């Protein structure tokens, strides 16, 4: 019986020695990371600092609603050199006159707001409509809130009551009055019967 116990003891000692060697190897390979190494692994600029779902907000002037924004999702990236807010699921913006009536509306399937420049970039199925019922459709539209202008360098279509205008490049004031197509490529007039 003694040789069997001796054999078990040798196997147990060999296994224990192997486990001890593995633990020592693992502990020696673990070192504390430096802040620069952690920053390189986790780029905080690429992670939104704020995520909001189902957002509806208003901008007022002297207690009157001026603009209302509605979006399913907003991501704020304020750690970037040029901070911005991303609206990856689209945006619906409604602008109001001082008497409370709707002045203009803009819808799109994706939007980005650059905070420092006060500039919106609206993309994918952009549609803007003014109080006259004129409708602008394009794939990219910029809205400069400082100058209160909207513009595009892409192909645009503007539909009025009985006319359709197409071209490349567009500019207007933010409520889409006094609009102009830069390179008009066609206009169609039709009678509604």
What percent of the chain lies above the pLDDT cut of 90?
Answer: 56
Please give the sequence-ordered ranges of beta strands (E in DSSP) within 46-88, or none if there are none. Answer: 50-61, 64-77, 84-87
Interatomic CA distance for residues 97 and 67, integer angstroms: 9
HSE at residue 65, side-chain half, CA atoms within 13 A, is 14
The residues facing 141 across adjacent strands are 122
Which H/E stretch holds residue 168? strand 163-173
Residue 136 confidence (pLDDT) above 90: yes
Of 132, 73, 76, 137, the C-alpha closest to 106 is 137
Considering only 21-35, 45-59, 80-94, 169-183, which range has the smallest mean pLDDT? 21-35
Considering only 92-96, 158-162, 164-168, 184-188, which range has the smallest mean pLDDT? 184-188
Interatomic CA distance for residues 30 and 72, integer angstroms: 44
How many CB atoms are closer than 10 A to CB 169?
16
Is residue 58 within 8 A of residue 84, CB to CB? The reply is no
Interatomic CA distance for residues 179 and 108, integer angstroms: 19
């Amino acid at each position: 019986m003694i040789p069997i116990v001796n054999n078990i003891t040798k196997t147990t000692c060999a296994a224990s020695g192997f486990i001890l060697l593995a633990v020592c190897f693992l502990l020696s390979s673990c070192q504390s990371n430096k802040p620069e190494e952690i920053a390189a692994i986790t780029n905080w600029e690429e992670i939104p600092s704020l995520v909001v779902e189902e957002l509806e907000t208003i901008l007022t002037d002297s207690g009157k609603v001026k603009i209302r924004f509605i979006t399913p999702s907003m991501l704020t990236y304020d750690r970037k050199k040029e901070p911005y807010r991303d609206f990856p699921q689209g945006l619906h913006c409604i602008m109001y006159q001082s008497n409370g009536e709707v002045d203009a509306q803009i819808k799109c399937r994706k939007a980005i707001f650059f905070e420092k420049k006060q500039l919106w970039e609206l993309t994918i199925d952009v549609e803007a409509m003014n109080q006259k019922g004129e409708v602008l459709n394009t794939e990219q539209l910029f809205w400069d809130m400082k100058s209160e202008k909207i513009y595009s360098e892409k192909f645009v279509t503007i539909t009025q009551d009985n006319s359709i205008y197409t071209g490349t490049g567009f500019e207007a004031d933010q409520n889409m009055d006094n609009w102009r197509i830069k390179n008009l490529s066609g206009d169609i007039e039709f009678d509604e019967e």
